[in-house]
Amino acid sequence: MRIDWHSAPLTRDTPITPNYKNTQNVRRFLRQACGEDFKFDRPFMQWIKDGTDLTLGDVADEWTRRQVAKKAK
């Protein structure tokens, strides 16, 4: 499956494919899912591309989990 990460409609069920890109379209989706504080960082981007079967919903949930963990420290 090939997704146009620049313009495809994205949902929580959209799979992360081998051609995944951190585009403005993805950032827009993740800001809606995670809040306006959403930002990519290098470790998070590496986690997304590590080859594990993920969806954008998994990505949003992981970013949220990491933010909660940071605040708990």
Q: Does 66 reside within a domain? A: yes
Q: Does 65 reside within a domain? A: yes
Instruction: Please state the domain count of the chain.
Output: 1
Encode burial over 24-33: b for 16+ CB neighbours within 10 A, e otherwise.
ebbeebbeeb
Q: Does 16 reside within a domain? A: no
pTM assigned to the model? 0.93
Per the listing, tokens 């992981």 go with 62
User: For 3-41, how does the pLDDT look when each residue is reduced to its tens digit (9 = 90+)?
Assistant: 999 999 999 999 999 999 999 999 999 999 999 999 999
Which residue range forms the structural domain that includes residue 52?
24-72
Contact 25, 55 (CB under 8 A): no
Q: Does 10 reside within a domain? A: no
Q: Does 39 reside within a domain? A: yes
Per-residue pLDDT, 1: 79
